[in-house]
């Protein structure tokens, strides 16, 4: 803070909790009236610029970075300076000073050299200044000034606006916004001086996203056309940067570009391999792949919906997949059943009748020997009993069909087109695998 009577500026270092250490005073010119704080020499340390009302000067105190300051260096201003402002008014990257002067009714601009020293002032007419602010009032990328004038001014009770002549107006139009994914974009527009009668800007315009340059164009009669590479789906914050030239400052404007998918979110289903051959009783394996389209991001349930052979099952691992940005896969296993041979076929009676052929032969022989009839009866009973056990053990009931003797038919020989369906909500897509069973 400035101290008019002591001709000093007091610095109170903060403790970080809202309290401050005792003040340290640094000499200035006579009757200091205001102070501006900024890095004036680019060393990342804060410096001070103090207006000296009685000396018609501004005192610059460069900071040491530890809360202390060097001795003041004074620069001439207009008469009775009341406010000091800091900004890069000429776009050279160095901080400049703007000093509002009450009696001379001017504002003095002192161009910075980048090392904490300043060039002689250039004065611009205002009213009798009592306060001033700096801002970009017309959004042309250049710092402007607003000077509040006192009642004793030649412009009493007014505000003087001083627009920077090095500002530009940038107009930019993308070829489409929103655009479609995969579509190349062209950014066209103009760069013009913001004030009437200004020169025609020259040099280049660059379109960037962060540190990535999308396109660059050279101005021709204040117009440009920059072609960019394709952008990903989403909303992009782009910067359109005019490089500046000898008459105009560098200027950056922002642009939001939206990129959309060409269609609704969807997916496809495929299979690898497309066909397989197995012997009944062995499994067949396939890989089912789901690929997202247009930003599809839902889980897909898998099922064998038709074409599955008799006495066969299908299993998916996992049973649902979410492809996301990369294709999702699931292992499909089709399990077939083996065929078994029956001990007795449907012609069981024919086979049993063969058991009696020995009995017929023996009966022919034993008729001639009555004493053997009793033994023949015993043998005949044994044969009949054996046949009954055989029928019972092998499934004598013929209702089982061709293999009613206790065997299974397994998965029949044939070629089967199995339809695999992926579904999510009302959306379904299919893929067909061919299974040959031998």
Q: Per-residue pLDDT for 399 more than 50?
A: no
Give residue 402's pLDDT: 41
pLDDT in tens, 133-177: 999 999 999 999 999 999 887 889 999 999 999 999 999 999 999
What pLDDT sits at residue 329? 96
Burial class (CB in 10 A: 0-12, 13-18, 19+), 11: buried
**Strands 2-3 and 159-162, bridge-based pairing:** unpaired
pLDDT of residue 327: 93
Note the pLDDT tens digit of each residue in 279-320: 999 999 999 999 999 989 899 999 999 999 999 999 999 999
pLDDT tens, residue by residue, 204-225: 999 999 999 999 999 999 999 9
β-bridge partners, 110: 97
Q: State the pLDDT confidence band at 365, using cuts at 50, 70 and 90.
A: low
Q: How many CB atoms lie within 10 A of CB 175?
A: 14
**What does the angle CA 19 – CA 12 – CA 80 come to, to the nearest 5 degrees?**
135
Q: From CA 181, how far away is CA 232, in angstroms rounded?
A: 6
User: What integer pLDDT is reported at residue 222 of this predicted model?
Assistant: 95
pLDDT of residue 152: 83
Calculate the CA 359 to chain-centre distance: 91
DSSP β-bridge partners for residue 179:
259
pLDDT of residue 400: 41
Question: Does residue 268 register a pLDDT over 70?
Answer: yes
pLDDT of residue 395: 46
Q: What is the pLDDT of residues 20-35, one digit of tens each?
A: 999 999 999 999 999 9
Percent of the chain's residues with pLDDT above 90: 78
Tell me what percent of the residues of the chain surpass a pLDDT of 70. Answer: 84
In 3D, which of 432, 433, 431, 425 has the Cα closest to residue 296? 425
pLDDT for 382: 67
For residue 345, the model assigns a pLDDT of 47
- The pLDDT value recorded for residue 397 is 45
The rounded mean pLDDT for the chain is 89
Q: How confident is the model at residue 353 (pLDDT cuts 50, 70, 90)?
A: low
Q: pLDDT grade, residue 197 (50/70/90)?
A: confident
- Vertex 299, ends 435 and 315: CA angle to 5°? 30
Report pTM: 0.62
- Whether the pLDDT of residue 398 is over 70: the answer is no
pLDDT score of 377:
62
pLDDT band at 230 (very low <50, low <70, confident <90, very high): confident
Q: Return the exposure string of 428-437: e unless at least 16 CB atoms fall within 10 Å of the residue's CB, then b.
A: ebebebbbeb
Task: Give tens-digit pLDDT for 59-116.
Answer: 999 999 999 999 999 999 999 999 999 999 999 999 999 999 999 999 999 999 999 9
List of residues 6+ apart from 17 with CB closer than 8 A: none
pLDDT band at 370 (very low <50, low <70, confident <90, very high): low
**pLDDT tens figures, 316-334:** 999 999 998 789 999 999 9
The mean pLDDT of 374-393, rounded to a whole number, is 60
Name 242's bridge partners: 205, 251
């Amino acid at each position: 803070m400035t101290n008019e009577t002591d001709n000093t500026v007091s610095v109170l270092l903060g403790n970080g909790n809202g309290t401050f250490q005792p003040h340290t005073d640094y000499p200035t010119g006579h009757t200091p009236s205001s102070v501006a704080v900024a890095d004036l020499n680019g060393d990342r340390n804060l410096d001070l610029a103090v207006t000296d009302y009685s000396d018609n000067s501004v005192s610059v105190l460069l900071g040491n970075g530890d809360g202390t300051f060097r001795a003041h260096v004074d620069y001439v201003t207009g008469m009775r300076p009341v406010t000091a402002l800091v900004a890069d008014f000429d776009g050279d990257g160095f901080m400049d000073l703007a000093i509002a002067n009450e009696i001379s009714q001017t504002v003095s601009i002192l161009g910075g050299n980048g090392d904490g020293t300043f060039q002689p002032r250039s004065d611009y007419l205002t009213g009798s200044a009592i306060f001033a602010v700096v801002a970009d009032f017309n959004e042309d990328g250049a710092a402007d000034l607003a000077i509040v004038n006192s009642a004793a001014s030649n412009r009493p009770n007014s505000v003087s606006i001083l627009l920077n002549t090095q500002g530009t107006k940038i107009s930019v139009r993308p070829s489409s916004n929103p655009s479609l994914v995969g579509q190349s974009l062209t950014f066209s527009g103009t760069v013009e001086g913001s004030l009437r009668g200004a020169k025609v800007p020259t040099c280049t315009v660059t379109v960037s996203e962060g540190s990535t340059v999308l396109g660059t164009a050279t101005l021709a009669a204040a117009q440009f056309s920059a072609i960019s590479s394709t952008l990903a789906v989403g909303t992009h914050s782009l910067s359109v940067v005019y490089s500046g030239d000898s008459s105009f400052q560098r200027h950056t404007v922002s642009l939001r570009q939206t990129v959309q998918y060409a269609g609704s979110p969807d997916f496809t289903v495929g299979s690898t391999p497309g066909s397989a051959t197995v012997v009944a009783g062995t499994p067949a394996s396939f890989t089912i792949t789901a690929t997202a389209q247009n930003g599809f991001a839902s889980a897909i349930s898998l099922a064998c919906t038709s074409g599955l052979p008799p006495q066969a099952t299908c299993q998916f691992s996992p049973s649902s997949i979410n492809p996301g940005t990369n294709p999702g896969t699931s292992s499909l296993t089709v399990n077939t059943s083996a065929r078994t041979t029956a001990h007795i076929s449907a012609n069981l009676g024919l086979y049993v009748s063969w058991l009696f052929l020995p009995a017929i032969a023996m009966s022919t022989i034993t008729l001639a020997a009555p004493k053997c009839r009793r033994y023949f009866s015993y043998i005949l009973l044994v044969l009949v009993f054996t046949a009954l056990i055989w029928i019972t053990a092998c499934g004598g009931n013929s209702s089982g069909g061709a293999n009613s003797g206790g065997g299974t038919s397994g998965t029949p020989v044939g070629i089967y087109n199995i339809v695999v369906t992926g579904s999510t909500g009302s959306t379904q897509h299919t893929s067909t695998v061919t299974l040959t069973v031998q």
